[in-house]
Amino acid sequence: MSSVSASFMASVARLLAIANKELIQMRRDRMTFAMMLGVPLMQLMLFGYAINTDPKHLPTAVITEEQSPVVRSILSALEHSDYYQLRYSLTDHAEGERLLAEGKVSFVVTIPSGFTHQLIKGERPQLLIEADASDPSASSNAVNRAQTMIDSALRHELKGGLAELSAQASPVELIVHRRYNPEGLTQYNIVPGLLGVIITMTMVMITGMAMTREVEQGTLENLLAMPAKPLEVMIGKICPYIAVGAVQTCIILLAAHYLFAVPFIGSMTLLISAVALFIVANLALGFTFSTIAKSQMQAMQLTFFFFLPSLLLSGFMFPFRGMPVWAQYLGEVLPLTHFLRIVRGVMLKGAQLNTVKFELLAITAFILVVGLVAVSRYKRTLD
Amino acid sequence: MSELAVDVHGLVKRFGNKIAVNGVDIQLPSGQVWGFLGPNGSGKTTTIRMICGLLNIDAGEGQCLGYDISRHARDIRRLTGYMTQKFSFWNELSIRENLDFVARLYQLPQRRQRVDNTLEKLGLSQRQKQLAGELSGGWKQRLALAAVTMHQPKLLLLDEPTAGVDPQARRDFWDEIHHLSRAGLTVLVSTHYMDEAERCDRIVYLAHGNLITQGTVAQIIADAKLFTYKAHDDGVRFAIEKLKAQPAVAHAAYFGAALHVSGYEQAALLAAIQTVTSNISWQQVDPSLEDVFIALMNKAGNDQRAYQ
Ligand SMILES: Nc1ncnc2c1ncn2[C@@H]1O[C@H](COP(=O)(O)OP(=O)(O)OP(=O)(O)O)[C@@H](O)[C@H]1O
Ligand SMILES: [Mg+2]
C-alpha cells in the first residue's frame, strides 16, 4: 500500500516537473504566448464586432412596378434611414436575384404593381424585402427597422381623409425573405459559440506543437532517456494549457458580458464544468495529433484538418438541423457540436444539468477514446 | 570488478530494408572506459540507443547493468546517463532550470544543493540564469555532461561528447571521464578523435553496422599487421597519386606535413615506394591508430562494394 502511494507520489512529482518545464518554455516563447492570448481577442473583436455593429448604407436594389408619390416617399424613407443605400433600380426580378446571389446587394425591395391602389383602398398591399441573410447580423437591424420606417413614412403621406388607414396595425404587409440562412442566427448565438471555436483552435494546435517541437529539436530523445512514464509526460504537458484555456474562457465571458451584452441566465458552475471538460477534450486531441505528426508543420496541418469541419459542421456557422443527415452524423462526432449546445443552452436558455447531460457524456466519451489512442500511440522509444 | 555492465549479443537494427547495425556484440566490464569508433553512419548512435532501450532491437539480446535491454528499459534508464550526439537539453530553459528539471525527474534528494554544486563544478554559477540555447557549442557539451551525471549513474553512454569542443576543454572533459571512471562508473564513449581513442581501456570499431575489430590500442595496431613508411620531403606531394595507384600501397595519407604510406606486405610496399619516388628518403615507423583505422575503413568499404 505504502509502496503504491509512494510510486504515485513519484509520478505526481515527475508530472509536476514536466508541467513546470512546459510553463517556463511557454513563457519564453513570446510568439506562441502572444498567439494564445492574442488570437482569442482578435477573433472576438473581428467576429464579435462584425456582428455587433449596426451596419449601415447596405447596398439595395429596388424593383418598382409602379411609380407614385407614396412609393417614392417609402423609398426615400428607406434611403434616409441610412440603413439602405438604393444603388439599383430594376424592372426585372431575375436581375435582382443575380445581384443578391453575387453579393452586390444586401437587399432587393419589391413594390408590386397596384400597390398604391390597394393601399388607398385599405387592402394592406404586400411589400417584399429579400435580404441576404448569409451573414444574418449584417442584415437584421435593417430588416427589423423597415416596418417602422415604412409606417412612419406612410403616416406622413396619408394625412387627412386617409389618416384612419395609418391608424391600423400597419397599412402595408411587409414580407421578409431571409435568403441563404432562414434561421437568422444572432450575435447571442455567435459570441458563446466563439468560446468553443477559440478553445478548439488554440488548444489543439498548441499541444500538438508542444510535443512535436520536442521531436524536432531532438529533446524527446533526452526526455525518453529519463525516467518519466508516458502518462506523466502527457498529463504534465497538458496541465499548463488548461490554465491557458481558463484564461481564454475568462476573457471571452467577460467580453460577452461587457462588450456584447450577451445574456447569461444559466448556471455558471455548470458552464465552467463543461468548459473544463471541453478543454481537456481538445488538449487530448492535440496530444494525439502530436503522436501522429512528424513535425510541427504536420501538427499544424492536422489541426486545420480538424478545425475546419469543426467550424462548418458543428452548428457554429450554419444551423445544425439545416445540414444534410450525413453531415449531421459527422457533426455529432465533433466535441464542438456538443459544447455549442451546452454553452448556448446554459447561457441563453438557462439549461440545467439534466438537459445537457448527454452532451457532457458525448464529450467525455470523446476524451476517453482520444486519450486511449494517445496513450497507445505514445512511443517509449524513438522507432 | 569483473562483472559486465553491458553484455549484448548479435544486436541488429533495420530501418526499412537498410541494416544500420548488423549483429554487434559488446561485453563491457564494469568500471572501464571503452571507445566506440567508426566512420559516419557506421551505426554507433544506433547501437548506443539500443543499449539504453531507446530503440527496439530487431534481433539479438542482452543485458545492461543486469537488466534485459528489451524488457527492463526503464530500470536501465534510471541507472544510466545518456548524452546524445546532438545537444538535447531545452534551449528555452536557463542552465539552472535545465539542471533542476533533470533533478526533479530523477527525484534527487536535496535538489537545490545538488544543482548548486553541479553549477559550481561546471563554473557556471554566475551564468545560471542564461538560457541554455545561448551557450556556445562547447559549453553546451559541458552542461550536457553535467546534467547526465547529476543522478550518479552507474553507466555513462556518451555519443561524441567532444565534437566541436576546444582542445583544452577536450582534455578537461577526458580528465573528468577518467575521474568518474575511478569512482566506479562504466563509460562507453563514441568519438572520431584518435587521441581520445587512445585514452580508452579498449576500442570497438564499427563499419557499415558490422563490428570490425576490438581490443586495446596496442592490440588493434598489432592485429592490423600493417607496415608504414613516412617521408617529409616536398617531393612526395607530387608523387601521392602515383603512390596510391600502386597495388602494394593500402593507403597514403598526410599526418601534419608528413606523408604516411601503409601496406600489408613489407617487401612489396618498399619496392613500390622506391620505384615511384627514388630520390626521396623514407623511414619506417610504427603504424599509428589512425593508419590502422584508415586501412580498416578502406577494407570495410571494399567489402561493402564487393557484396553489392
Ligand atoms: N531513424 C532512422 N531512420 C532511418 N535510418 C536511420 C535512422 N537512424 C539512423 N539511420 C541510419 O542508420 C545508419 C547508422 O546511423 P548512426 O546514426 O547509428 O551512425 P553513427 O555511427 O552514429 O554515425 P555518425 O558518426 O555520423 O554519428 C546510417 O546509415 C543512418 O542513415
Ligand atoms: Mg552518431
Residues A205 and A341 both lie in one domain:
yes
- Give the position, in ligand 1's atom list, of the atom nearest the Cα of B21: 14
Lowest mean pLDDT among A33-37, B81-85, B92-96, B250-254: A33-37
Residue nearest to atom 16 of ligand 1 (CA): B43
**The predicted structure's pLDDT at residue A186:** 58
Query: If you measure CA to CA, which chain A residue comes closest to B54?
Result: A381
Residues A193 and A269 both lie in one domain:
yes
Euclidean distance between CA atoms A212 and B20, whole angstroms: 25
Residues A231 and A293 both lie in one domain:
yes
Contact A132, A139 (CB under 8 A): yes
Lowest mean pLDDT among A79-93, A195-209, A222-236, A319-333: A319-333
Query: Is A35 inside a domain boundary?
Result: no
| Residue A29 to residue B84, Cβ atoms within 8 A | no
- Give the position, in ligand 1's atom list, of the atom nearest the Cα of B43: 18
Average pLDDT, chain A: 83
Q: How far is the CA of B59 from the centre of ligand 2 (A)?
A: 20
Query: Is A327 inside a domain boundary?
Result: yes
- Angstrom CA distances, A136 to A314, A318, A375, stand at 18, 11, 43
Number of domains in chain A: 2
Q: How far is the CA of A201 from the centre of ligand 2 (A)?
A: 39
**The predicted structure's pLDDT at residue B192:** 92
Q: What angle do CA B216, B13, A294 make, to 5 degrees?
A: 125
Euclidean distance between CA atoms B285 and B228, whole angstroms: 6
Check residues B244 and B158 and name the one with the higher pLDDT: B158
- Give the position, in ligand 1's atom list, of the atom nearest the Cα of B38: 21
Residues A121 and A72 both lie in one domain:
yes
Residues A106 and A196 both lie in one domain:
no
Instruction: Look at residue B56 and tell me whether its pLDDT is greater than 60.
Output: yes
Residues A166 and A190 both lie in one domain:
no
| Residue A225 to residue B86, Cβ atoms within 8 A | no
Cβ count near A160 (within 10 Å): 5
What's this model's pTM, rounded to 2 decimal places? 0.77
Q: How far is the CA of B41 from the centre of ligand 2 (A)?
A: 7
Tell me if B278 CB under 6 Å of ligand 1.
Answer: no
Residues A210 and A277 both lie in one domain:
yes
Residue in B82, B89, B104 nearest the CB of A219 = B89
* ipTM score assigned to the predicted complex: 0.85
Query: Is A6 inside a domain boundary?
Result: no
| Average pLDDT, integer, range B148-160 | 95
Instruction: Look at residue A165 and tell me whether its pLDDT is greater than 60.
Output: no
Residues A107 and A236 both lie in one domain:
no
Residues A92 and A126 both lie in one domain:
yes
**The predicted structure's pLDDT at residue B308:** 37
Q: Which domains does chain B have, with CATH numbers?
A: 4-220 (3.40.50.300), 227-286 (3.30.70)
Per the listing, cell 520536442 goes with A214
Q: Where among A144, A179, A214 does a domain terminate? A: A179
Residue A160, domain extent:
58-179
Residue in B56, B82, B90 nearest the CB of A225 = B82
Q: Where among A179, A214, A229 does a domain terminate? A: A179
By the 10 Å C-beta count (0-12 exposed, 13-18 middle, 19+ buried), B107 is classed as middle
Query: Is A32 inside a domain boundary?
Result: no
Query: Is A37 inside a domain boundary?
Result: no
User: Buried b / exposed e across B138-148, counting CB within 10 Å, b at 16+?
Assistant: bbbbbbbbbbb
**The predicted structure's pLDDT at residue A136:** 62
Instruction: Look at residue B2 and tell me whether its pLDDT is greater than 70.
Output: no
By the 10 Å C-beta count (0-12 exposed, 13-18 middle, 19+ buried), B84 is classed as buried
Residues A209 and A160 both lie in one domain:
no
Residues A73 and A161 both lie in one domain:
yes
Per the listing, cell 554544486 goes with B117
**The predicted structure's pLDDT at residue A102:** 67
- The CATH number covering residue A110 comes to 3.40.1710.10
Tell me if B133 CB under 6 Å of ligand 1.
Answer: no
Q: Where among A179, A204, A239 does a domain terminate? A: A179
| Residue B106 to residue A227, Cβ atoms within 8 A | yes
Query: Is A117 inside a domain boundary?
Result: yes
Residues A271 and A365 both lie in one domain:
yes
Q: How far is the CA of B248 from the centre of ligand 2 (A)?
A: 33
Tell me if B20 CB under 6 Å of ligand 1.
Answer: yes
Query: Is A28 inside a domain boundary?
Result: no
Instruction: Look at residue B303 and tell me whether its pLDDT is greater than 70.
Output: no
Query: Is A21 inside a domain boundary?
Result: no
